Structure 1
Amino acid sequence: MAQQKKIVILGAGESGVGSAVLALKQGFEVFVSDFGAIADKYKNQLTARGIRFEELQHTEEEILSADEVIKSPGIPDKAPIIKRIIEKGIRIISEIEFAGRYTNAKTICITGSNGKTTTTMLIYHILKKAGFNVGLAGNVGQSFARQVAEENFDHIVLELSSFQLDNMYEFKADIALLLNITPDHLDRYDYKMQNYVDSKFRITQNQTSADALIYCLDDEEIMKVMADRTFSARLFPFSLDQKVEEGAYASNDTINIQTDKKQFSMNISELALQGRHNVNNSMAAGIAAKLLEIRSDSLRESLGDFQNVPHRLEHVAKIQGIEFINDSKATNVNSVWFALESMNTKVVWIAGGVDKGNDYSMLFDLVKDKVKAIVCLGKDNKKIHDAFEDKVEIIVNTASAKEAVNVAYHLAAKGETVLLSPACASFDLFKSYEDRGDQFKATVKEL
């Protein structure tokens, strides 16, 4: 009898434990190793299934006896244990690669530097509303592997970060969406933009003429690659600036979608998601929906009643005529650009936190045009002061969500907007961007 193959899983979060559940179901010997502490809920899940695991260490002897290693997307290739696995010649794959082997579900895969969670949730909403037997996985929802192990979906909508794409080899997206590419996470890519771009384009690998690639015609980095490479998949561009024959474009306050002789149009003012970047997200989702032959009346309804994900341009309250918006998920400069671009009023902007090497120059024109005051929320706000002191008259330092909200409330006037859109990570004052957003919302509701 053939010896049982051994799978080692590094990282015991949602992705790792989901992989362990699937590996056990497929008959592998399974061992889970996490260099940090494992959350109780995941320990309980592993224990209940009799899956061996360790925490706060990596036992090399155990790990290097694997036939294959599934790596959590959060573990960098520079980690010592990863180097040892590579030296030993053991194959390292992602959870997405592993789960893809055991499902026949049609996959709709979304990546991009910004907007991927929103677009993923929107496509899931459209499909669910149209009656599809559909799962939601990847960077959102339960892990892909867990859903393959425990559910039987016909379609799965997957949000894929560049880290998840990096260890995918045979996996194929039936419909791939590439929304945009702007500098982010460059510390993981040797500070080379091309490495990051190549990572994003892995979403197109293994696609055939039966598959579809939906991409932004207005994105410079995407179009450089599109001009250089040939693609097997059918191509469906979307654009705010140019008319396209097949794909989607915006003109005269209307989005127009054309696929396989199927046409769809909708007034931009009727879309649930507002702002130029969200028109792009809606067009990309609309193309995917039409390729899946979703009826126009159902699509129109879904694009009109979708509620955005928490902490992403989330309307919190209107108090004394002042709108409060929580965009705590905006942890890079590009996300803030999209947020400010979508504002139609004067803005009191709450920004700051742990700087990720930000270059604020792309915001200068928007800030001059729309921002009346900046409320800094972080331990070290010098970089924000230096960048904007000659663009905005008022810049105030605060050290808590409560203080930031109260200061912003007093600076804003009726008909204006208080926008939390930090451009930075949250770990100096908060547990996470969710914690930052939750504290902001709670304080606003106390006003």
Structure 2
Amino acid sequence: MNTKGTHIDNKKPFLVVLGAGESGIGAAVLGQKQGFDVFVSDAGEIKENYKKQLADRAIAYEEKKHSLDILLSANIVVKSPGIPRKSAIVQQLITQNIPVIGEIEFAARYTDARTICITGSNGKSTTTMLTYDILKKSGLNIGLAGNIGRSFALQVATEPFDAYVLEISSFMLEDMDTFRADIAVLLNITPDHLDRYDYKMDNYVDAKFSITRNQRKDDFFIYCKDDPETLKGLARTPINAITYPFSQQEVVEPGAYLNKDKEIIITIPNQEKFIMSINDLALQGKHNVYNNMASGIVAKIWELRNESIRESMGEFVNIPHRLEHVTRISGIEFINDSKATNVNSVWYALESLPEKIVLIMGGVDKGNDYHMLKELVKMKVRGIVCLGKDTKNIHNAFEDDTEIIVNTQTMSEAVQIAYHIAQKGDTVLLSPACASFDLFKNYEDRGDQFKAAVREL
């Protein structure tokens, strides 16, 4: 424990940061800059690079425990989104009337920058990156933060931008209070993290819709009109902002839709109509049409030129670990989709790829319902390679839908077996539908090990 400087200046307000990950370090740096006496507490081990950042700024911290006496003397607490509000430590703080907020909320209090906030069960990282790419290439002074890249708070503290594109998870939304999104995007809502929401879908939907909280009548809310859970949430949630829906099933104006010629049409009042064939998109697949529609609406709200938007949509390179092409060996494509940690993400991956597929899946099952994948597995999947300690649910779900289901315990073994099952013209797809924590540090580590194992074939 490095307690040097722990709440020694009674003239300064005392900020406690729970969790010393990317968001926590950013909150600590911003808090110090704003005149707080700062203390960082992490129940786990703090990474060396984060320790160095704290030490370089003489910010006190502890690891592998929470010192309750210090925490309860805080004026305000910024917590990691990974710590549930119902956890014992957070409930003790709340009982003592100590405000507990998230890093996004905290950072927003110290910037006048405009915010474009993107959430959804699937596609939010891709849409966030695509939106950022379009706006940055148009010459805007724009930052990228939230659930992706460097923390929002750190950027506000050290290199402020005029606007930010923020990828926002439902966990982050739980810790919002006064935060307001200038532009809020809700891509879709499918069952995910239900263990965090008492296994009630309505609770999860309400968490997602809190992205519209505090919006004013001159703000914007962009949503998918084809998504059933979004429509249900919309029916019970008052929206103050200007709404722009997008759809592939019907004509929506203003908003975005797909016409009979398979062109994306975006109409925004008092602006030239945007038209682009889906064949010209860099990102292919039905789900990516939705992602491009959402990003396109944001770009049109910013009044960017149609030519600039088309150019970005046509040249965009997707983020790592999301349908990432690795290589081709003996006529077999290898695709890294390690970021697919829920069933719906795997559905999108299978839907966007040609048959035949050897699917590597498995990990920490969050109560997955695999029913939605059964038809695609029957149509497209040659075999399933299970990776992880608990593969029973995968076997039960798909034993009648594909001829081969094999268990493996390491990524190297999984890749080798998938390679032997696959035939020329097939795709080996890592798309786990599960969290990674049984065998890997995180989904990035899982994806990196997949790519390394493929290159060793």
TM-score by length of 1: 0.97
Matched, 1:120 2:128: yes
Alignment partner, residue 71 of structure 1:
79
Greater Cα shift, 265-274 or 405-414:
405-414
Give the residue type in structure 1 aligned to 2:382: K
The offset of 1:269, in angstroms, is 1.1
Alignment partner, residue 397 of structure 1:
407
Distance 1:22 1:162 in 2: 23
Give the residue type in structure 2 aligned to 1:371: V
What is the aligned-residue identity percentage?
64
CA RMSD in angstroms comes to 1.4
- Aligned match for 2:391, one of 381, 405, 415: 381
Alignment partner, residue 95 of structure 1:
103
Alignment partner, residue 222 of structure 1:
230
Alignment partner, residue 138 of structure 1:
146
Distance 2:441 2:67 in 1: 29
In the TM superposition, 1:202-241 aligns within 5 A as 202-241=210-249
Query: How many pairs does the alignment contain?
Result: 447
1:280-322, Cα deviation, whole Å (9 max, x unpaired): 0010001001101111111111101111111111111122222
SS in structure 2 opposite 1:231?
coil
SS in structure 2 opposite 1:184?
coil
1:15-71, Cα deviation, whole Å (9 max, x unpaired): 111111111111112111111111111111112112121112211121111111111
5+ residue gaps, structure 1, are: none
The offset of 1:4, in angstroms, is 2.2
Matched, 1:152 2:160: yes
Distance 1:80 1:387 in 2: 36
In the TM superposition, 1:19-34 aligns within 5 A as 19-34=27-42
Residues 355, 379 of structure 2: 8 Å contact kept:
no
Distance 1:318 1:250 in 2: 33
Matched, 1:257 2:278: no
Matched, 1:42 2:34: no
Matched, 1:278 2:296: no
Alignment partner, residue 183 of structure 1:
191
Distance 2:95 2:437 in 1: 34
The offset of 1:229, in angstroms, is 3.2
1:109-148, Cα deviation, whole Å (9 max, x unpaired): 0001111111111111111111111100010111111111
The offset of 1:275, in angstroms, is 0.9
5+ residue gaps, structure 2, are: 1-9
The offset of 1:445, in angstroms, is 2.0
Distance 2:17 2:331 in 1: 52
The offset of 1:444, in angstroms, is 1.7
Distance 2:368 2:439 in 1: 18
1:317-374, Cα deviation, whole Å (9 max, x unpaired): 1222221111111111111111111112211111112211111111111111111211
Matched, 1:297 2:297: no
Give the residue type in structure 2 aligned to 1:423: A
Alignment partner, residue 172 of structure 1:
180
Distance 1:173 1:425 in 2: 29
Distance 2:337 2:52 in 1: 34
Structure 1 moving runs of 4+ over 4 Å: none
SS in structure 1 opposite 2:257?
strand
TM-score by length of 2: 0.95
The offset of 1:385, in angstroms, is 1.4
Distance 1:427 1:225 in 2: 31
Distance 1:403 1:331 in 2: 20
Distance 2:176 2:81 in 1: 11
Residues 43, 66 of structure 2: 8 Å contact kept:
yes
SS in structure 2 opposite 1:142?
coil
Alignment partner, residue 318 of structure 1:
328
Alignment partner, residue 421 of structure 1:
431
Distance 2:64 2:236 in 1: 46
SS in structure 2 opposite 1:215?
strand
